[in-house]
Amino acid sequence: MTKRKPKPAAATKKSARKAATKKGAKGKKIAAKASKKAVAKPVTRKATLGKKAVHAPSRQELFVREYLVDLNGRQAAIRAGYSPGSARQTASELLATPDVQAAVQKAMDERAERTGITAERVLERIWGIATADPRELIELVRSCCRNCYGKQHKYQRTAQELKNAWAEWRKNEDIREDKGIASQPFDTEGGTGYDPRRDPHPHCPECFGDGVERVIPKDTRDLAPDARMLYAGVKTTQHGLEIKMHDQTAMLVHAGRHLGLFKERLELSGKNGGPVQHSIAGILDDIDGAGTGLPDHATRGS
């Protein structure tokens, strides 16, 4: 029988340390797994808290927001998700609700505070447009004609026009000389000095003191504050420039309504001032013989 040789003492100690290390590592892994299981995951709680924080606006709240965009009740109702077919009626009902009225007014007040726009400033601008003088944008004037101040009331030129006429005459003179045609004298007519800004001459034999019409667009860089608000732009057409302005009559109406100057009231009354009464028979009586193509209700039963 073979006897096993005893292992050296150093090797035995090394094996013991290795075994202890493995056991300790295994224990740490088990402890780590246990700690992971013990820690509660807050995912569910976070998700729950997130859901509570989200607030989906109701259609009524959406209507209030959309109404502030353009103050168009029907379009606001459609954009808020209401049926387009009944949007007008829906908007009317919503705007008659005290809660909606209060919400709209609150939103308007908050917007006015943010933008600095007040009723006084709006009214001031409306009144400025309504009372601005359109002549600051464009004028129709009557000025002198070409004959008003010419010598013996003949056609009068400016200095540059006279130079151009002289050059044209010299050119024609050279042509006449080459062809052997007799020379013609240059006619200065009424001379120079024409100024279209002068008033008509009361004794002019051509215009009889009425002068000629001139339309003068003004330089928009020099407009007064109210005229600048009245000015709405300019466009070029085949007939010339068109100066666009805001509707002053509409602005006057806006100002009057803002100040409560107009009393708009519709009164309906029936016979002898009593309430209006409707009946099917009365309605049929009204439409009989009116060219509607409907049969006479009196003969329907026969």
- Quick one: 86 and 184 in the same domain? no
Model confidence at 29, pLDDT cuts 50, 70, 90, reads low
State residue 257's pLDDT score. Answer: 81
The whole-angstrom separation of Cα 99 and Cα 109 is 15
Same domain, 143 and 257: no
| Environment class of 126 (CB within 10 Å of its CB; exposed 0-12, middle 13-18, buried 19+) | buried
pLDDT 10s digits, 85-115 = 999 999 999 999 999 999 999 988 888 788 7
Degrees (nearest 5) of the Cα angle 219, 148, 186? 105
- The parent domain of residue 92 ranges over 56-117
Residues 205, 99: one domain?
no
The reported pTM is 0.49
d(CA 111, CA 118): 10
- pLDDT for 301 equals 45
Residues 218-261 pLDDT 10s: 999 889 999 999 999 999 988 888 999 999 999 998 888 877 78
Question: How many whole angstroms separate alpha carbon 45 and alpha carbon 39?
Answer: 14
pLDDT confidence of residue 8: 53
Q: What is the rounded average pLDDT of the residues 130-158?
A: 95
According to the model, what pLDDT value does residue 281 have? 59
Whether 182 maps to a domain, the answer reads: yes
Residue 125 covered by a domain? yes
